[in-house]
Amino acid sequence: MKRSLIFYLTLIGLLCIQCNNHLEYSDIINVKNSWNKKDTLNFTFKVQNSENKKNINFIVRNNNDYPFSNIYLFVKLKQGKNIVTVDTLNYFLADNSGKWLGTGVGSVKEINLRYKKEFNFPKNGLYTLSIVQGMRKDTLKGIEDFGVNIE
């Protein structure tokens, strides 16, 4: 009985590890509840299999100090000095009634936002994804963390 329990727990643990192996890159930057327009968040990562399409996602953790229901982002993807893409994006963080769309307990909510779906990187190598907040306030309160993951 004890051996079968250990076997099943080990099997479940291995399955959980396998489920998380699809992430090729993941990083989160703590912006400490204050994101200035002059602060560029840079995420540098290595692409090893450019022939495989990849999804690029953003992770935003906000709290109740955030005064808006959406967030504008200016995003630039570069490989070395070569610009691959430049985008201006608008994501909703709350619904029409003001309820946060993310998940979490307490005042901090986390939302995953799709940036690129099945994106083809031009070639293998180091890339930098640079993100600047594009809201009308110079200092944006209420954003605690901003992250990127690539799967």
Supply the DSSP symbol for 38.
T
DSSP lists the bridge partners of residue 129 as 43, 77
What is the C-alpha to C-alpha distance for residues 36 and 56, in angstroms, rounded to an integer? 24
Entry pTM: 0.83
Distance of CA 64 to the CA centre of its chain: 20
Q: How confident is the model at residue 22 (pLDDT cuts 50, 70, 90)?
A: confident
- Report d(CA 92, CA 69) in Å as an integer: 6
Q: How far apart are CA 111 and CA 59, in angstroms?
A: 6
At 8 the pLDDT is 46
Indicate the average pLDDT of the chain.
Answer: 90
Q: 68: which 2 tokens?
A: 């808006």
Instruction: Read off the pLDDT band of 1 (50, 70, 90).
Output: low
Question: Is 113 or 4 the better-scoring residue by pLDDT?
Answer: 113
Q: Residue 120 in 3-state DSSP?
A: coil
